[in-house]
Structure 1
Amino acid sequence: MTQRITRYGLPAVVLLVALAAFAAGRRSARNAVLPPVTATAAHAEADHAHEGEACTEGDGCAEEGAAHADGDAHAHAEGDAHAHADGDAHAHADGVVHLNAAQMQASAIETGVVALAPVAASLALNGEVQADGDRTARVGSPVAGRLVALKARVGDRVRRGQVLAVVSSRDVAETQAALARARAEEQAARARLQNVRALAATGALTRRPLEEAQNAHTAALADVKRAEAALARAQSARDLAQADLARTRKLAAAGAFSARPVEEARGEVAEAQAELETAQAAVKARQAAFDRSQRLFSAGVAARREVESAEAELAQAKAQEREARTHLTVARQALAREEEVARQNLHTTGEVQAAEAALRQAEKEVEDRQAEVTRARGHLQVAAAVLARERKVAGQSLLARKEVQEAEAALARARADVQAAQNALQAIRAAGSARGAGAASIPVTSPINGIVTERTATLGQAIEASTDLFTVVGNESVWVWASVYEKDLPHVRPGQPARVSCPVHPGHEWNGQVGYVGVISDEKTRSTRVRIDLPNPNGVLRPGMFVSVALQLREKRQALAVPVTAVQQMGEEYVVFVAGHDGEFTRRPVRVGARTGTLVEVLGGVRQGERVATRNAFLLKSELMKDQLSEGCAH
């Protein structure tokens, strides 16, 4: 003992003497004095306000015994001076503390009833805040072009629809031109519909098809007559060829061939002359029909196809006239040649063969003309049927209704084309045209509310439709990614409630839910990533922050619970102080379970309906610890 005193010196001796005197006083009184609540006590209450918050199932609460030991030592150092200033607070070895009314009021200890409350087990995880992938937008131009203006910088807060940049694009100019054309066609279709309705009201639409049918019938009748005339001429030519062959044979037998070729040539001239006259008559008829079609088309009554048909028929008639004129010229030349040959007596017996060939040709011509007559008569029958039908339609005004319906359909198609062009412009959000260059200016807008976190755009840059220009991140919600060990993974599911806290913002909690449970496990850590979808209305949480996550493992159930401030840790156990009569509090070891908010589940140690200290319970714990310290010093 002397060595120890010598070693530690006089301060240690003084401290041992003081402790021995204090222990002797405690043994004689067997009571502990609870000091009145002062500024020091209030500070101690603040230090112990959250004591026991970490008391969840399977977790240990932070032991603050060393701090209390220092505080108790200070209290013991000054305790004798106030030993019985406000009355006695008796702490017994069985863990009972007695407080009088004045001490109860001064210490502000409050009690509560042990009752059933909804609690749920939770799983503690560490996580990292990341941007919400569903609220992250990579913004680009809908069309290729060149950047002519930049309206946003990195860090700017933008709203949905706000212009970030302006792009000059020829694609938009082409779309606008298509819209202009569609609108012009729509106006033309509307004007045609008005015109058709006006004509239908006056009966012009009914008369026009009837007149066309009558003209077609007249033309078909003329074709029949012309074909019959051609057949008659062909038959005459055949008869003439037959007679000429007989005469040629007689002349050949008599040795006279001089007159026959001349007569044939004259016959050809006569036939060609008749054919030319027929063709000229057809040209006059077709010319009259063509002029009439042009007048009707100019008045808006006839269709262009009708004018083109009349023009084609006129061209055909003129071609036939030219052919007949050429035939006449050739026939006259042949007559002149034959007359010259006759004067020179150059014919031979070969004339018979020529006469036979001419007869065969005449017979073939008769067959062709007969086929033409048959064809023309068929056309006449068709024209007669069409005329009869048009007369019937004209009597019922069916054509007028049909024309109006067709005009209405054309207007509907034109309107659809206009709408399609407008939709194309709306799809690329066209803002307006740049005059002169044929280009158009379109805005590049933000699709979401958020903050511009990246800008790759440069003024004057040539871009494609696939070029990303800006990255906008919405901060109204965030994702929290955490890792769950394999043993806990069966208890985690999408939609599971989660509580998130951040050390940067103490005292704040955010409520979210599990949005995704990964399907791949990390082979090194044997854990799986889990995503928590978390509202972030004020934008307090930022990507990159570390947070704590508490997952509710099962549905809330009714269980005995007390406020977390009621549970104190003493040594290796958790305790509560059960209130008795007249300021008596008894220490009661308890087993704690899950924590839910400000409540902690009590698995055993107290019964429903008992009252426990819920506020400033740490003062009762301190009183018991002082008593234990004094007894330790006494021994």
Structure 2
Amino acid sequence: MLAPHGQAPTASEAPDAVGAAAVRPDGLLLVAPAKARALGIVTAPAQPASEVPLADLPVTIAPPPNARVAVAATLPGTVLRTLVVEGDTVARGQALAVVASRDVMTLSADLARANARAGVARSSAARLNQLSREGIIAGARADEARALAAEAGADVAEKSRILRLVGSNRGGGTYTLTAPIAGRVTKADIQAGMPLDGTSAPFVIDAAGRYEATGQVPERLIGQIRPGMTVRLGQNTGSQGAEAVRGTVTAVGNAIDPATRSAMLKAQLPASPGLVAGRVDTITVWGPATTSANTGANTDARSDGAITVPEAAVTTLGTDDVVFVANPRGYVRRIVHRLGAADGQVVVTGALKAGDAVVVHGTAALKALAQGN
């Protein structure tokens, strides 16, 4: 019987290897239980893979189209002060720059005159309304006065709204450009002293929280890569301990570009410190383990019968990737074919099946024994 998972074979299971280690002609490593314990050998069961890597694809990282906002200069003027630079993270409503504008002074003066007219109109309407109630004047005159007061009030409200929208500082004839969304400043084409014409957009802000990866799917993979599949960025198929960013395929084109023989792919990625808009990177697309496909790094690699083992279980002997599997008399090395890695697990195919007790600690020691005998 196999050694229990997490333990070395017992003495009764390796009677000819007590206190020693040897390699049989068939490749079986005869390791005594005492030596196995001394080497710190621990096993874990191999698991069937639920996902396998289908392809490594180059992509360009960008914010989604609806997550980029241009901050326009609403009124012409001159930049007095800039408060952020390109690359800064800003909160919604945060001040970006202060602009001196003659239009703000004009609007402020118009508002002051409108307030004065509204005050006179309200007083006149109140007086005529009282006279109307006493029967001294006709009600039509009071109605007309109330209408004029309402019109003056609407004029005040409109001018106040415009000044609020531009972020006006009424007393100083300036207005403040503010961030309409939270995110990162990806463009800051502005500096103190430069003129603004009221139609330019000196700032561009990308919304925080998500990015879009765009790339091309080779013709041979069209139909195999579908929306909803998982993508991982930042963890190549052979990298150990790397932090991967997980995302989802959102769209795959159904038209092939005759020049590149490929179709468009888009995937959504969450925000991560390593993600920068405009950068070219590589994503790995993962699909169900029942799908057979060629990977970008390993041609002819099939996902049928794929097995997942911890990263520490896979080592190399010569040019082969191998794992060590416990059996009743010791440990046997089995050649495997690496398909990909994610989250500390490696997906492999080869002479391995689900439930096999693979060595996850002490692999290096067994490798040394195998090479030294």
Match among 437, 441, 453 for residue 174 of structure 2 = 441
Match among 233, 237, 246 for residue 511 of structure 1 = 246
Question: Cα distance, 1:588 vs. partner?
Answer: 4.2
Task: Kindly indicate whether residue 164 of structure 2 is the aligned counterpart of residue 426 of structure 1.
Answer: yes
Question: Cα distance, 1:91 vs. partner?
Answer: 1.6
Task: Kindly indicate whether residue 119 of structure 2 is the aligned counterpart of residue 168 of structure 1.
Answer: no
Q: TM-score when scaled to structure 2? A: 0.72
Kindly indicate whether the alpha-carbon contact (under 8 Å) linking 2:95 and 2:178 is maintained by their aligned counterparts in 1: yes
Distance 2:191 2:240 in 1: 36
Kindly indicate whether the alpha-carbon contact (under 8 Å) linking 1:190 and 1:411 is maintained by their aligned counterparts in 2: yes
2:216 equivalent in structure 1:
483
Amino acid at match of 2:21: A
Distance 2:171 2:57 in 1: 56
Amino acid at match of 1:104: A
Larger % of strand: which? 2
Distance 1:144 1:497 in 2: 48
1:584 equivalent in structure 2:
330
Kindly indicate whether the alpha-carbon contact (under 8 Å) linking 1:158 and 1:452 is maintained by their aligned counterparts in 2: no
Q: For 1:102, what is the secondary structure of its paired residue?
A: helix
Tell which has more relative contact order, 1 or 2 (C-alpha 8 A, sep 6+). Answer: 1
Q: 1:506 to 1:626 in 2, by over 3 A?
A: closer
Distance 2:256 2:108 in 1: 54
- Aligned pairs for 1:141-290 within 5 A: 141-153=73-85, 158-205=90-137, 208=138
Distance 2:134 2:98 in 1: 55
Task: Kindly indicate whether residue 270 of structure 2 is the aligned counterpart of residue 535 of structure 1.
Answer: yes
Q: For 2:159, what is the secondary structure of its paired residue?
A: helix
Kindly indicate whether the alpha-carbon contact (under 8 Å) linking 1:146 and 1:168 is maintained by their aligned counterparts in 2: yes
Question: Cα distance, 1:176 vs. partner?
Answer: 2.9
Q: 1:88 to 1:555 in 2, by over 3 A?
A: closer
Kindly indicate whether the alpha-carbon contact (under 8 Å) linking 1:454 and 1:472 is maintained by their aligned counterparts in 2: no
Amino acid at match of 2:275: L
Amino acid at match of 1:429: G
Question: Cα distance, 1:500 vs. partner?
Answer: 0.7
Task: Kindly indicate whether residue 199 of structure 2 is the aligned counterpart of residue 466 of structure 1.
Answer: yes
1:113 equivalent in structure 2:
45
1:88 equivalent in structure 2:
20
Question: Cα distance, 1:143 vs. partner?
Answer: 1.1
Q: 1:467 to 1:407 in 2, by over 3 A?
A: same
Amino acid at match of 1:113: P
Distance 1:603 1:507 in 2: 22
Higher alpha-carbon deviation: 486-495 or 154-163? 154-163
Q: 1:407 to 1:450 in 2, by over 3 A?
A: same
Kindly indicate whether the alpha-carbon contact (under 8 Å) linking 2:95 and 2:176 is maintained by their aligned counterparts in 1: yes
Q: 1:425 to 1:566 in 2, by over 3 A?
A: same
2:285 equivalent in structure 1:
551
1:123 equivalent in structure 2:
55
Kindly indicate whether the alpha-carbon contact (under 8 Å) linking 1:119 and 1:594 is maintained by their aligned counterparts in 2: no
Encode CA deviations 1:373-426: one digit per residue, 9 max, x unaligned.
xxxxxxxxxxxxxxxxxxxxxxxxxxx5x7766655554444333322222222
1:338 equivalent in structure 2:
none
Kindly indicate whether the alpha-carbon contact (under 8 Å) linking 1:578 and 1:610 is maintained by their aligned counterparts in 2: yes
Encode CA deviations 1:14-64: one digit per residue, 9 max, x unaligned.
xxxxxxxxxxxxxxxxxxxxxxxxxxxxxxxxxxxxxxxxxxxxxxxxxxx
Q: For 1:490, what is the secondary structure of its paired residue?
A: coil
Q: For 2:75, what is the secondary structure of its paired residue?
A: coil
Distance 1:156 1:505 in 2: 32
Distance 1:589 1:201 in 2: 104
Question: Cα distance, 1:501 vs. partner?
Answer: 0.6
Amino acid at match of 2:309: V
2:232 equivalent in structure 1:
499
Contiguous gaps of at least 5 residues in structure 1:
1-85, 209-399, 435-439, 628-635
Larger % of helix: which? 1
Match among 586, 594, 599 for residue 345 of structure 2 = 599
Distance 2:242 2:210 in 1: 20
Identity of aligned residues (%): 26
Distance 1:173 1:614 in 2: 74
Q: 1:135 to 1:555 in 2, by over 3 A?
A: farther
Q: How many residues get paired?
A: 340
Q: 1:601 to 1:543 in 2, by over 3 A?
A: closer
Question: Cα distance, 1:177 vs. partner?
Answer: 3.7
Q: TM-score when scaled to structure 1? A: 0.45
Kindly indicate whether the alpha-carbon contact (under 8 Å) linking 2:240 and 2:311 is maintained by their aligned counterparts in 1: no
Distance 1:567 1:149 in 2: 59
Kindly indicate whether the alpha-carbon contact (under 8 Å) linking 1:592 and 1:601 is maintained by their aligned counterparts in 2: yes
1:613 equivalent in structure 2:
359
Q: 1:556 to 1:423 in 2, by over 3 A?
A: farther
Distance 1:580 1:540 in 2: 44
Q: 1:114 to 1:481 in 2, by over 3 A?
A: same
Q: For 1:482, what is the secondary structure of its paired residue?
A: strand
Question: Cα distance, 1:192 vs. partner?
Answer: 3.5
Question: Cα distance, 1:175 vs. partner?
Answer: 2.9
Question: Cα distance, 1:144 vs. partner?
Answer: 1.7
1:455 equivalent in structure 2:
189
Larger Rg: 1 or 2? 1
Encode CA deviations 1:570-604: one digit per residue, 9 max, x unaligned.
567654433233x6223345576665533345666
Kindly indicate whether the alpha-carbon contact (under 8 Å) linking 1:451 and 1:474 is maintained by their aligned counterparts in 2: no
Kindly indicate whether the alpha-carbon contact (under 8 Å) linking 2:111 and 2:160 is maintained by their aligned counterparts in 1: yes
Contiguous gaps of at least 5 residues in structure 2:
1-17, 292-304
Question: Cα distance, 1:112 vs. partner?
Answer: 0.9
Kindly indicate whether the alpha-carbon contact (under 8 Å) linking 2:40 and 2:362 is maintained by their aligned counterparts in 1: yes
1:70 equivalent in structure 2:
none
Kindly indicate whether the alpha-carbon contact (under 8 Å) linking 1:122 and 1:594 is maintained by their aligned counterparts in 2: no
Kindly indicate whether the alpha-carbon contact (under 8 Å) linking 1:457 and 1:470 is maintained by their aligned counterparts in 2: no
Q: 1:119 to 1:531 in 2, by over 3 A?
A: closer
Distance 1:610 1:174 in 2: 82
Distance 1:505 1:560 in 2: 18
2:154 equivalent in structure 1:
416
Higher alpha-carbon deviation: 511-520 or 117-126? 511-520
Amino acid at match of 2:32: N
Kindly indicate whether the alpha-carbon contact (under 8 Å) linking 2:212 and 2:267 is maintained by their aligned counterparts in 1: yes
Distance 1:506 1:559 in 2: 21
Distance 1:181 1:495 in 2: 60
Distance 2:103 2:158 in 1: 15
Q: 1:149 to 1:604 in 2, by over 3 A?
A: closer
Task: Kindly indicate whether residue 40 of structure 2 is the aligned counterpart of residue 97 of structure 1.
Answer: no
Q: For 2:118, what is the secondary structure of its paired residue?
A: helix
Amino acid at match of 1:553: G
